[in-house]
Amino acid sequence: MNPKVDFYFNKAKKWQEELEQLRVIALDCGLEEELKWGCPCYTLEKNNIVLIHAFKEYCAFLFFKGALLNDSHGILIQQTENVQAARQVRFTNLREIVEMIPVLKSYIYEAIEVEKAGLKVELKKTTEFKMVDEFQYKLDKIPALKAAFEALTPGRQRGYLLYFSSAKQSKTREERVEKYIPKILDGRGLDD
């Protein structure tokens, strides 16, 4: 157990017993415990394997390369359609976790083998994401914007494309594009 991670478990109100049990399971599999993104993260040679996190309605194990796991028990959940690699196993009570200990450990061991083998999730290319007309128009009219957008990392590009395309109305898409043009021109991502 890493003392730097203790605060996460100590501050938990709703899911304390469940989170502690998930911690024991991950540590029993021989993983290193670290604090990443404010959550307990379990790694193998500095490579992320599984993360513990809590939400209002459930707590979960998040497998970073869950899309590559066999999921013979059908328990892995893709959080949203835009999540490409990670998959969750969700819990709403301690009993569910305790009953699944052997299964959860087998998933962790499989995730370890995926990491050791160096397998990678085939991510969609940025060009495969929807480009809304409102943004394409600006890219066509402002060469500096197009150059700045193309200079962004693929992850930052995807962030903008997903955000712009999530608006249902054209007016909202236009407002979003206008608002973020300065950030794109500065070489920053959506949340930078």
- Each residue's pLDDT expressed in tens, for the chain with a length of 192 residues: 888 889 898 888 889 999 999 999 999 999 999 999 999 999 999 999 999 999 999 999 999 999 999 999 999 999 887 788 999 999 999 999 999 999 999 999 999 999 999 999 887 787 788 899 999 999 999 999 999 999 999 889 989 998 999 899 999 999 999 999 999 999 999 888
Residues of the chain with CATH 3.90.1150.200: 3-116
User: Among residues 116, 111, 113, 117, which one has the least CA distance to residue 88?
Assistant: 111
User: Among residues 44, 62, 43, which one has the least CA distance to residue 52?
Assistant: 62
User: Among residues 157, 177, 173, which one has the least CA distance to residue 165?
Assistant: 173
Helix (H, G, I), strand (E, B) or coil at 90: strand
CA 59 – CA 32 distance, rounded (Å): 20
Global pTM reads 0.74
- Model confidence over 13-43: pLDDT tens digits? 889 999 999 999 999 999 999 999 999 999 9
CATH code given to domain 3-116: 3.90.1150.200
